[in-house]
């Protein structure tokens, strides 16, 4: 476990998540700001370790905001169909049954061989996903999709146990819990990076050569450009830090959103836009 710095007033951490069954630590990256000072993105922890790291970081931070890159819940109809009345209650079901769902891929899940996407009579998106803008033709995927390009289902099912663990440790998970000094929000990096060919290192480096990233130093930009996962974590952390005031006054949500969850998105972004083709 990395050594944590001395106590801070404000800590912002963005985590680019992974649902990979093996070697997840190669894909999970985190980027941080400690009292507005960035630290170079790192990628050396698996799912269990990153949850433990966040809990340790909580003990050294007066105020802390964490962004996690996976869906925090499912469409309301599915949660209620399973007999759950809240997202945290559903997380416990997902913790117990998630691996079986991933293996068997029962309807309405799809993505595995010999499975098909549900028809138009099955609502596969949460409200927050249906109402997000398209970035270069890319839109949020359905949490029911557990395989295929850009899928989020596997990472989400394997992330929900971490939400339970963080909640038990005193974090408030937005929008399901009343706000407190240590908050966790759902992020979708593509909405924060905007249009950039993230899979191309030259494009990542060009994007990071602009302000405000150029002021963070070669070590930070070098780590942030080293992979698509590092890039997503880094840009997400910068965006969260730039909009710290909005994180401190999160908007009111509907009853549906309090069950399905909501992607956190700032009201505006000052980050650069790379007009090269946007790819997941």
- The CA dihedral of 200, 215, 235, 243, to the nearest 10 degrees, is -160
Mind listing the pLDDT tens digit for each residue in 45-74? 999 999 999 999 999 999 999 999 999 999
The answer to whether the beta carbons of residues 120 and 79 sit under 8 Å apart is no
| Cα–Cα distance measured from residue 183 to residue 206, given in angstroms and rounded to the nearest whole number | 32
The answer to whether the beta carbons of residues 64 and 15 sit under 8 Å apart is no
Cα–Cα distances (Å) from 180 to 4, 22, 133, in that order, read: 22, 34, 29
Residue carrying the six token digits 């996976």: 70
What's the predicted TM-score (pTM) here? Answer: 0.92
Q: Report the chain's mean pLDDT, rounded to a whole number.
A: 91
The answer to whether the beta carbons of residues 163 and 173 sit under 8 Å apart is yes
Which residue ranges make up each domain of the chain?
8-72+158-260
Tokens (6 digits) for 241: 């830090």
Mind listing the pLDDT tens digit for each residue in 229-258? 999 999 999 999 999 999 999 998 999 999
The share of the chain scoring above pLDDT 70, in percent, equals 93
| Cα–Cα distance measured from residue 52 to residue 58, given in angstroms and rounded to the nearest whole number | 10
Q: Per the omega criterion (within 30 degrees of 0), is the bond before 197 cis? A: no
pLDDT at 278 over 50: no
The confidence band for 6, taking pLDDT boundaries of 50, 70 and 90, is low
The answer to whether the beta carbons of residues 33 and 243 sit under 8 Å apart is no
Mind listing the pLDDT tens digit for each residue in 193-204? 888 888 999 999
């Amino acid at each position: 476990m990395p050594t944590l710095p001395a106590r801070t007033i404000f800590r912002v951490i963005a985590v680019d998540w992974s649902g990979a069954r093996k070697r997840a630590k190669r894909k999970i990256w985190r980027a941080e700001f400690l009292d507005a000072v960035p630290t170079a993105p790192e990628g050396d922890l698996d799912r269990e370790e990153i949850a433990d790291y966040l809990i340790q970081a909580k003990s050294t931070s007066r105020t802390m905001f964490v962004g996690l890159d996976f869906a925090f819940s499912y469409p309301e109809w599915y949660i209620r169909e399973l007999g759950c009345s809240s997202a945290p209650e559903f997380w416990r079901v997902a913790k117990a049954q998630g691996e079986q769902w991933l293996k068997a891929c029962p309807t309405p899940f799809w993505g595995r061989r010999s499975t098909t996407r549900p028809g138009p009579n099955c609502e596969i998106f949460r409200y927050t996903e249906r109402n997000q803008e398209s970035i270069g033709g890319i839109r949020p995927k359905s949490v029911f999709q557990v395989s295929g390009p850009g899928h989020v289902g596997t990472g989400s099912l394997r992330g929900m146990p971490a939400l339970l663990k963080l909640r038990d440790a005193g974090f408030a998970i937005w929008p399901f819990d009343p706000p407190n000094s240590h908050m966790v929000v759902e992020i979708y990096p593509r909405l924060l990076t905007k249009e950039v060919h993230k899979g191309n290192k030259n494009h990542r480096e060009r994007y990071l050569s602009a302000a405000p990233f150029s002021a963070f130093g070669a070590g930070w930009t070098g780590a942030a450009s080293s992979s698509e996962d590092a890039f997503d974590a880094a840009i997400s952390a910068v965006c969260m830090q730039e909009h710290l005031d909005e994180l401190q006054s999160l908007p009111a949500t509907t009853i549906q959103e309090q069950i399905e969850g909501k992607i956190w998105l700032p009201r505006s972004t000052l980050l650069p836009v790379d007009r090269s083709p946007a790819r997941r």
